[in-house]
Structure 1
Amino acid sequence: MELHVTERALRFRRPVVMAYGTLEERRLFEVELVADDQVTGRGEAAPLEPYDGVSLERVAAALELYRPILAGGDDLTGGELLDACATADPLPQALAAIDLALWDRAGRRTGERVAALLTDAPAEEVPVNATVTALDTDAAAAACAAAAEAGYRCVKLKVGVGDDVARVAAAREALGPEPELRLDANGAWTVSEAIPVIGELASYGLELVEEPVHGIEQLRAVRERVAVRIAMDETTSEPGAIASQATDAVCLKLTRCGGISGLLAAASLVRAHGAVAYIASTFDGPIGIAGALHAAAALGDLPACGLGTLALFDEDAGAFGVVDGAVLLPDAPGLC
């Protein structure tokens, strides 16, 4: 199979402020796998260096190592090809692109949606959260009010930046009592900071706090001393983190898991250890969002997932637009 790689840049409608910096655009790679039968599979590699420490250049180097493997792999199954690529370079962000393209190609060849290849009865829609990153209290409140009016049943507010107490109070007032309010600190706090802050914010009816601190033991220490559910995100990259039982929930990312195959395996491990799994994007592009939606539809019965993020870009979200707090599973063969 021939591998084609194209770099793409997606501009945010407005800068996105995170605990690790401000994002104005999202650069990623779109890949295509073309075999002799001319059935094309499309994938996406979306590293986010401030978040995962992986550069586009690092991913490009891994994809180049995969090129001869894919070119000489006509007699191998998709799983064998992916294993061979992982042996050459186990970089999850690069493997995700190949995994997505192989699943997309399998769906197009069979005329089936990818989710239907993963399970007999996939969900037809995936509940998603709205994401609010505004630093200004009034702007955060306005964004939460708009999300509630649009039918979102869960809003994720970025914290660890600005006056968190005032913003959370304003967010809850704007949302009213019903929508869930999820906080994401991206590891901005220390244990000694997180415990009193979460204790103060708990009165606003929080669904959970995602990655208040970094590290397995640090997360466990916070979880043991607050009355709010704690979720793991960035810490999942640490060895043994998913099976550590350090948190009540685990946020899984397609890019960090190496694609759909790795994400489903990670979700099974999370559930086996008594925690709740849900899926979010690292501001992925349309192909990455499609892959995550198919994985979420196959898993079923998930909390709100962070897969409505295409609305943050200048481009039209198209088939992945959010309606009443959910995104419909694409009905075309393959990923989308």
Structure 2
Amino acid sequence: MGSLLLGVTLFILNIGTRFCEIVVEQDRFISGSVDSTVNLSCHLKHGAHEILRVNPYWIINKTGEDVMYLYPPNNPTLKNRVKEINKDHMTDMTILVSRLELTDTETYHCFVSLLVNSSTEPQSMLVSGNGTMLFVHGPVEVEFNDTEIMCKTQVRWVENVSLVWEYRDKNLLIEKETQTWVQALDGSLWIMNRLEVKFENFVGNTTFYCQLNHDLKYNIASKGLEIPGRGPIQVEMNESEIICQVQVGMMKHVSLDWYHRDQNLLSAQDNCSQYRTGSNWITNCLKVQLEQCVGDVTFYCQLSYSSKPIANESLEIPCRGVPQIRHPVLLYSLLLGTSFLILMIVILISLKMRQCKPRTRQRGINLPRYKFI
């Protein structure tokens, strides 16, 4: 009934066109977090007309329901939370709403009842703005564990709103992104977005931003979270051992291991087992039997996450050993067998050549005999 009366009044009071320059301007969208304070702006534009009196009204006009006044408040719960900022101002009808609640999420219309001076007699008018959408939300919360980052916030409804992830490095391997919502006991909704990322691939710190967006292309709120990634693998050698270390963001499920093709060169790691130092550094040192190898040998330090290789770094070390004959009997047998094989090949070739030589009978040649004195 209140909506009908307000509509009829608005129609009757605006039948004239001579006051078309008088309009009310409102913000289209405004947002605020729970327990915060926002300003709902309303400005009267009257051109060259002289305004004698103004009375502002802020209402919530729901279809099928009675008109609810936000200002002047007709609800006791709003009386101490709403006030006009410039009460004696003729064109600024902005109000302040404090201690926001999720249930304050509505579209609010500013109506101004005014008395305009004219050439004949003062004229009464009622003008209104297009309405301001007030969106109230809970704090944006961001957290992460070993496998995912989660962002969540509490809202009155989830229509036309979404949580979106933003990050600078677009080369990050994103496994999966899932957005869901859950209804709370008070009827509000929790909207959540989970992002599955391979944290072990991060080199250096990476900041993720979770944004609460509205379909009207408004960024309502955002929250950033910096996730520490790993540093480069560092490999070096001193007089008695080789050392591999790396700084990681998370210690859980991360390990460093040494690899080499000749496993006989790796010691039993006595007094040199893997240990962890401060500031999320993982270090693994290795004693190597360098006297047992000849030439340059390459060792690989491998970083693994949940037993899966992530990255590795190599180090080439010159050995101090000399060539040694470990199996002399086998070597002598090999030399003897090779010599015998070569001899047999020579004999066979010789016999073959003799068999292939043509046989011819030589005729007798009578040579004159000379006698030498």
Q: Same fold (TM over 0.5)?
A: no
Over alpha carbons, which structure has the higher Rg? 2
Compute the TM-score of the two structures, normalised by the length of structure 1: 0.18
More strand by share: 2
More helix by share: 1
Compute the TM-score of the two structures, normalised by the length of structure 2: 0.17
Which structure has the higher relative contact order (CA within 8 Å, separation 6+)? Answer: 1
